[in-house]
Amino acid sequence: MGFFRNSMKTSPRNLRDLCMAGLILCMFILVSNLIVQPGHAMRAGEFIISGQLQDSLGQPVENASISAAAHDGGKLLGETESRSDGTWSLTLDAVPRGGVDITVERAHFQPRSVSIDQTVLADLGSANIYRVDTIELERRIDVSFWVASLVFLIVLLLIAFEFLHSATAALAGISTIFLVSYIGGAYSPSLKILTFDQAIEYIDWKVVFLLIGMMIIIAILEDTGIFQWMAFQAYRISRGRNWLLVVILMAITSIASALLDNFTTMLLMVPISLQIGMALGIDPLALIIPEVLASNVAGITTLVGTPTNILIGAYAGIGFNDFLVNQTIGVIIALIVMGAYVLFHFRRELIKNAEGISPHLYEKLRENARIENVGSLWKALVVFVLVFVGFILGEHVDLVPAVSALAGATILLIWLNPDIHQMIKAVDWTTLVFFMALFMLVGAIQEVGLISTVAGWMAQVVGNNLPLGVFLIIFGVGTLSTFVANIPLAASMLPIVRVLTGSIPGAGNLILYYALSMGAAMGGNGFLIGGEANLVTAGITEQTEYPITFVKFLKVGLPVTYLTLAVGFIWLLIRF
Amino acid sequence: MTTMLCPTRGGKESQPNQDFAIQYAKQHDADLLFLYVSDLRLISRAGPPIVVDIEEELSEVGDFMLTMAQERAEKAGVTAGTAVRSGVFSDVLREIIRENKIHTVILGESHEKTGVATSEYLQHLSEDLGRELNVEFIVVRQGELVFRSKGEE
């Protein structure tokens, strides 16, 4: 603790710098959200040809080059590129005589040509717009497909088996893609996987800036000691009823995880829970394991509760309110089922009569769980609530969550005046770099068609059966998440889920995205290696006589995983 | 008055070993110093940068555990102090022995056979540090003597 204690008296210049930094960040986000729609006023005699491109799975194809050439003589009449929704339009100076040949070219797709006959154009009469039928482009599986797929698989393996840090692995992956694209591509066009400009477009800046804003807010809030204080109050309120203590601690952890991130939540909860467990004379793991299980699941009730929700929300346009409304009840039911299971699992520890502790030890426990800085706490809570109001109300005025989070972080920086260097250090740049590299890497496999190939297989298996689709996503992703890091898993599943959402009748309500959210989060409880919160909890408990071993965690974590996945599956079918 | 050192990681499973140390100190009319050492290297590898001051959080855990041990020692009539440190266990042990002119170190084997307190590690450590610092090392398991080395003797 100590951002406030060590904070220096800020000069007006420092304050101005802080304000400027915040304003610049906010303006950056605002500007980045302004979508400039190119307008075009039609002139007399002009002729417009428009259309739409899609792939074999019905997904729009963007950035394809479309050119129109005169049927007679092949004179180039105009060129354009398809937009993000696959639509395109070409403005020609006049209605071409003798027909037009439209050619569509896009890397990693077979080129297509469409001819517009002279008689069709003549029949348009005074109309000066012609709409071409939707053009379907076929994927071209070439060497770039195999290279990008192999690189992606290697990155996943490096992360899963911890040969490299996840950020290093993702950076190594995208660097390899770039090297192959630029050096290999100079010799063979089929090795052009992804250009740097294309890669940058795949980075979701709303995710990056939302994370930055929330990391600063969390760093300030956690420094106040509020969660340790709440845990101590749970110890007091439970008055030796250990089962009640477990329930209250799970509730506190759940709320904290929904508002903060799981990793920080467990860093705050484990040390005080160790002390409470020892004070009661029970195995502290009977308190700590339920806490970590709850933290992994409860985070998905809000947009900012887990990184995977932030990813899913930004990708699918699912807002803060949507997660709250559609997942909260399901998560509460899952937590109740989980609570019942862990109480049963730890029943021998929990029925023990609580041992008393000396007044001196009680005082020490109370002191260790004190609120560090009441003034800062109130200010942080006020801003925290305002940020969440921004999340909730912002959806009605197109205020993206990143702006609310950044504005809140900036207000806190100005109001509380913490050491700005400490605050910048508190931003998890490693995770941000990982996210950016991962976005680009997933972009690469999306470009070469791996995503659409996998999505095509899944669409064939699922057919029109929506419950089967939900089942496959929630249990498939849940099972994979027990041992694969859920962030890269969710990031690579998102385009697949988008395809399935478009192809399965009834999936337009985004149910499959919620299934992805639940699967990625709940699966993290299966094994000790399933989540960062699990690992940090194990790391802390290893410092005492109560280490969480792989098997100890597995015995309770794996049954809880499948119980909660089953609850999540049933809930989604009921809700949608 | 001599001082004996009892490194411990707290908890119920450590209590028989702590009791051994308390009785041994009482028999030799010695003071007792309980030591808790946290090794943050294991945690910092876990994931994101740690914004929480985990060293302070763990030192509070250690302090709490050692106070429990201290109270039990004082109930048995033995004067006991506590020390909480962070670092590599063997390095911290060496420092504490030198700083406090420790005469005897009582090491308890970890019940869970995890971390630093495995039987093999403790015996190696006892032999090495015992020779280097001319200090008596006693290794106990669940309150029973397992191994004893007396420095250069």
Mark A563-574 as b/e (b = at least 16 C-beta within 10 Å): bbbbbbbebbee
- What is the spatial order of strands in the sheet that A112-116 belongs to? A76-81, A65-70, A100-105, A112-116
Minimum-distance CB partner of B61 among A274, A535, A549: A274
Closest CA relative to residue B112, chosen from A535, A280, A544, A284: A544
Q: How far are the Cα atoms of A314, A461, A473, A478, A494 from residue A500, in angstroms, in the given order?
A: 18, 11, 10, 18, 10
- Residue of A2, A532, A549 with shortest CB distance to B114: A549
Tokens coding A19: 């304000």
Which of B42, B48, B115 lies closest to A428 in CB terms?
B48
pLDDT, tens digit, for every residue of A110-122?
999 999 887 777 7
Structural fold of domain A47-137: Immunoglobulin-like (2.60.40)
Identify which of A222, A284, A365 has the shortest CB distance to residue B52: A222
Closest by CA position to A490, among listed A326, A315, A312: A312
Q: How far is residue A481's CA from residue A492's CA, in Å, rounded to a whole number?
A: 13
C-alpha span between A430 and A165 (Å, rounded):
9
What per-residue confidence (pLDDT) applies to A37?
A: 42
Q: Do A539 and B110 touch (CB under 8 A)?
A: no
Interface residues of chain A, partner chain B, Cβ below 8 Å: 1-2, 215, 218-219, 222, 263-264, 267-268, 271, 274-275, 278-279, 281, 283-284, 357-358, 360-361, 364-365, 368, 425-426, 428-431, 532, 535-536, 538-540, 542-547, 549
ipTM over 0.90: no
Strand, helix or coil for residue B105: strand
**Residues A360, B71: C-beta atoms closer than 8 Å:** yes
- Look up tokens 């088996």; give the residue: A161
CA distances from A369 to A91, A223, A303, B67, B129 (A): 69, 12, 29, 16, 38
Q: Which residue has the higher pLDDT, A342 or A46?
A: A342
SS3 content of chain A, % helix, strand, coil (to 5): 65, 10, 25
- Give the mutation candidate from A261, A265, A545 for the B interface (greatest B CB count, under 10 A): A545
DSSP per-residue string spanning A342-354: HHHHTHHHHTSPP
Q: Does B1 touch chain A (CB under 8 A)?
A: no
pLDDT tens for each residue of chain B, 153 residues long: 789 999 998 878 788 999 999 999 999 999 999 999 988 776 665 555 555 677 888 899 999 999 999 999 999 999 999 999 988 888 999 999 999 989 899 998 876 555 556 777 888 888 888 888 889 999 998 888 888 887 654
Distance CA A396, CA A388 (A): 14
State residue A10's pLDDT score: 43
Query: Of residues B45 and A417, which shows the higher confidence score?
Result: A417
**Positive or negative torsion for Cα B96, B98, B100, B102:** positive
Tokens encoding A435: 């996210």
- Judge contact between B114 and B61, C-beta under 8 A: no
Per-residue pLDDT, A126: 67
State the greatest distance between any 2 C-alpha atoms of chain A, in Å, as a whole number: 99
Contact (CB<8Å) B49/A428? yes
CA geometry: angle at A197 spanning A191 and A199, to 5°? 70
Whether B64 sits inside 8 A of A426 (CB atoms) is: no
Chain mean position to CA A48:
40
Residues in chain A within 8 Å Cβ distance of B56: 1
- C-alpha span between A539 and A194 (Å, rounded): 39
Q: Does any CB of chain A come closer than 8 Å to the CB of residue B11? A: yes
* Tokens 């969440």 -> residue: A388
Instruction: Give per-residue pLDDT as tens, A476-506.
Output: 999 999 887 788 889 889 989 998 998 899 9
Tokens, residue A166: 């996840």
Residues 32 to 71 of B: which have CB under 8 A from any A CB?
38-39, 42-43, 45-54, 56-58, 60-61, 63-65, 67-68, 71
Whether A267 sits inside 8 A of B111 (CB atoms) is: no
Longest dimension (CA), chain B: 49
Q: How many residues does chain B have?
A: 153
Which residue in B38, B61, B141 has the most chain A C-beta atoms within 10 A of its own C-beta, making it the best mutation to test that interface? B61
For A45-49, A373-377, A533-537, B97-101, which range has the lowest pLDDT when averaged over its residues?
Answer: A45-49
- A393 contacts: CB under 8 Å, gap ≥ 6: A399
Q: What is the mean pLDDT of residues A366-383?
A: 88
Contact A532 B45 (CB under 8 A): no
pLDDT band for position A296 (50/70/90)?
Answer: very high
Q: Is pLDDT at A39 greater than 70 in this prediction?
A: no
Q: Are strands B136-141 and B102-108 parallel, antiparallel or unpaired?
A: parallel
The answer to whether A462 touches A472, Cβ cutoff 8 Å, is yes
Q: How many helices (H) and strands (E) does chain A have?
A: 25, 8
Candidate from A361, A428, A543 with C-beta closest to B58: A543
Chain B residue closest to A545 (CA)?
B9
The DSSP annotation for A491-505 comes to HHHHHHHHHHHHHST
Cross-chain Cβ contact B9/A219 below 8 Å: no
What DSSP string describes A284-309?
THHHHHHHHHHHHHHGGGSTTSSHHH
B152 touches chain A (CB under 8 A): no
Give the count of Cβ contacts less than 8 A between chain A and B. 111
Indicate the SS3 state at residue B98: helix
* Element spanning B108, H or E: strand B102-108
pLDDT at A474 over 90: yes
Q: Is the pLDDT at A367 greater than 80, yes or no?
A: yes
Distance from CA of A245 to the nearest CA of B (A): 19
Phi, psi of A76 (to 5 degrees): -70, 125
Cα–Cα dist A521/A198, whole Å:
30
Phi, psi of A142 (to 5 degrees): -125, -165
- For residue A7, pLDDT over 70 is answered with no
The minimum CA-CA distance between A483 and chain B, rounded to whole Å, is 15
- Full 3-state SS string of A206-234: HHHHHHHHHHHHHHHHHCCCHHHHHHHHH
Mutate to test the interface with B, among A372, A544, A550 (most CBs of B within 10 A): A544
Judged by average pLDDT, the poorest of A169-173, A228-232, A464-468 is: A228-232
Per-residue model confidence (pLDDT) at position B112: 57
- A59-78 pLDDT, tens digit each: 889 889 999 998 887 788 89
What pLDDT does A4 receive? Answer: 37
* Calpha distance A276→A136 (Å, rounded): 63
Closest chain B C-alpha to A512 CA, distance in angstroms: 29
Q: Which of A2, A222, A539 sits opposite B43 (nearest CB)?
A: A539
pLDDT of residue A270: 92
Q: Is B48 exposed, middle or buried (0-12, 13-18, 19+ CB in 10 A)?
A: buried
**Shortest alpha-carbon distance between residue A508 and chain B (Å):** 35
CA-nearest of A378, A301, A293 to A339 is A293
Average pLDDT over residues A219-245: 87
Q: Do B53 and A361 touch (CB under 8 A)?
A: no
- Ramachandran angles phi, psi of A80, nearest 5°: -155, 180
Complete domains list, chain B, with CATH: 3-150 (3.40.50.620)
Mean pLDDT of the A352-370 span: 82
Q: Are A448 and A107 in contact (CB under 8 A)?
A: no
Q: Is the pLDDT of residue A8 over 50?
A: no
Going by pLDDT thresholds of 50, 70 and 90, the confidence category of residue A441 is very high
Is A332 in a helix, a strand, or coil? helix
Q: Strands B31-38 and A135-137, how do they pair?
A: unpaired
Q: Which CA distances in Å does B147 have to A37, A50, A337, B105, B112? A: 80, 87, 48, 12, 19
Q: B43 near B78, Cβ under 8 Å? A: no
pLDDT, tens digit (0-9, with 9 covering 90-100), for A241-254: 899 999 999 999 99
- Residue B143, sorted as left (phi over 0), alpha (psi -120 to 50) or beta, turns out to be left
| Closest residue to B39, CB basis, from A274, A368, A543 | A543
User: Residue A514 and residue A479: Cα distance in Å, rounded?
Assistant: 16
Q: Distance (Å, rounded) from C-alpha A65 to C-alpha A8?
A: 57
Of A283, A426, A546, the CB nearest to B51: A426
Query: Domain coordinates of chain A in residue numbers?
Result: 47-137, 143-202, 225-371+449-575
B11/A546 touch (CB, cutoff 8 Å), yes or no = yes
